[in-house]
Amino acid sequence: MHIHILGICGTFMGGIALIARAAGHRVTGCDANVYPPMSTQLEAEGIALIEGYDAAQLALAPDVFVVGNAISRGNPLLEAILDRGLPYVSGPQWLAENVLQGKWVLAVAGTHGKTTTTSILAWLLEAAGLKPGFLVGGVPLDFGVSARLSDSPFFVIEADEYDTAFCDKRSKFVHYRPRTAILNNLEFDHADIFPDLAAIESQFHHLVRIVPRSGRIVANGLEASLDRVISRGLWSELERFGGPGQWQVGEVSADGSCEFRFDGASLGRVRLPLAGAHNRMNALAALAAARHAGVQPAHAVASLADFRGIRRRLELRGTVRGVAVYDDFAHHPTAISATLEGLRQRVGAERILALLEPRSNTMKLGVMKAQLPASLELADKVWCAGANLGWDAREALAPLGAKARVFDRVEEIVDDVVAEARSSDHLLVMSNGAFGGIHEKLLAALSR
């Protein structure tokens, strides 16, 4: 089968492309504003990419067009597909019908931590010899790719609550029919498609409704929003982590290790490679889900020490003249705060210079702007990209005083940061996009 993917360089659709190629299909695709790591990952797999959405791509005559959720009505290629009555399907539906049928699906849902938790869970199953298939919204360093097809009965997937496609406004995760579902956390996000938190809770309840009674939900015991979701109906097994739940994790000790416990019994201590309390909770959720798939908890805890992390999650991009430059995907105030807390735990009193690009649809709308100053408190200095926003970043960050600076151009931020930086500083770049290639520009400018 020949499939042509619209929006192929998104992390999810790029994963679909890798899986379809591994399944023996011919895969082509198109996108706009292509950037690594997905573009390079696809090219390395020999998948042809077309820049843009010209209707001339109909001449490729694929068996089916797979349409990503970034594609809206008015897109010239989509409009041509509809006008011609050609076959098309959403990415989640294609995956469900062609890959997930008959699999034991382990789905990781939540506002934050999905990519990290999914990567940890895939690694725990891999370390136990189960060789799972997976689709992650990032690139786990232990695997080097964001998606893999395998003969294993297990498939681990990042379960996004964002809508499925232009033609299907349900959350992506309702297509996956998981046997094991992690509900990591839940707060308001995606203001471009959800009017309020209650609307997102309804989507999470739709997920809860399709977990079989022999399945298991692993839910964060500290989240009142998840309590509300579960109180609307529960038909499967339930285990909670954190708070009053069965699964617990201790604080980090002087040697950098922490203890994991289940039903009050210790499962062992391990030095977790990922910093921050949020990552300890992510690991705890993954341990609980792995146990449901048959992984011995003590073995899973020991395997955590070998987890290498994920690209764009506090990823060190380089160090020049003693100045470290990190790349992180944080773009929501809660994630920004958690990322800073994790880095602060790692670097102690050394300076953290935070560089933020408010790029997500929620951030561009200004829904979270009032929460930004508090989320950036642990940074010593802050730079924010202020262009193309529907709100005034200078006004929003005014509570931070002289600690925060706003520029419209990436080059202005680079020049100002490099003039400020000194040896032992940590430059933390936070964006869900490429941020104009700022990481490479910072490293180059520092080297000069």
Of the candidates 354, 324, 340, 338, the residue with the CA atom closest to the CA atom of residue 422:
324
**Residue 335, C-beta contacts closer than 8 angstroms, at least 6 positions apart:** 112, 329
Dig out the tokens for 106 from the structure: 């382990």
8 A C-beta contact, residue 266 and residue 248: no
355: region left, alpha or beta (phi > 0 left; psi from -120 to 50 alpha): beta
- Write the pLDDT tens digit of every residue in 16-36: 999 999 999 999 999 997 666
309-346: pLDDT as tens digits: 877 877 889 999 999 999 988 778 888 988 898 899 88
Percent of the chain with pLDDT over 70: 99
Instruction: Provide the pLDDT for residue 375.
Output: 92
Local structure of 44: helix, strand or coil: helix
Residue 345: per-residue pLDDT: 83
pLDDT tens track for 68-113 = 999 999 999 999 999 999 999 999 999 999 999 999 999 999 988 8
pLDDT of residue 35: 64
Q: How confident is the model at residue 255 (pLDDT cuts 50, 70, 90)?
A: confident
Please report, for the chain, the start and end positions of each structural domain, with discontinuous segments joined by +: 2-91, 102-304, 315-447
What are the residues facing 133 on neighbouring strands?
A: 155
Instruction: Give me the pLDDT at residue 99, please.
Output: 96
CA atoms of 354 and 177, how far apart (whole Å):
39
Query: Which pLDDT value is given to residue 43?
Result: 84
CATH number of 102-304: 3.40.1190.10
List pLDDT tens digits, range 370-410: 889 999 999 999 999 988 888 888 998 999 999 999 999 99
Q: Which residues of 332-349 are buried (b: 16+ CB within 10 A; e: fewer)?
A: bbbbbbbbbbbbbeebee
Fold of 315-447: Protein-Tyrosine Phosphatase; Chain A (3.90.190)
CATH number of 2-91: 3.40.50.720
pLDDT in tens, 31-62: 997 666 677 778 888 898 999 999 999 999 99
How many residues can be counted in the chain?
A: 448
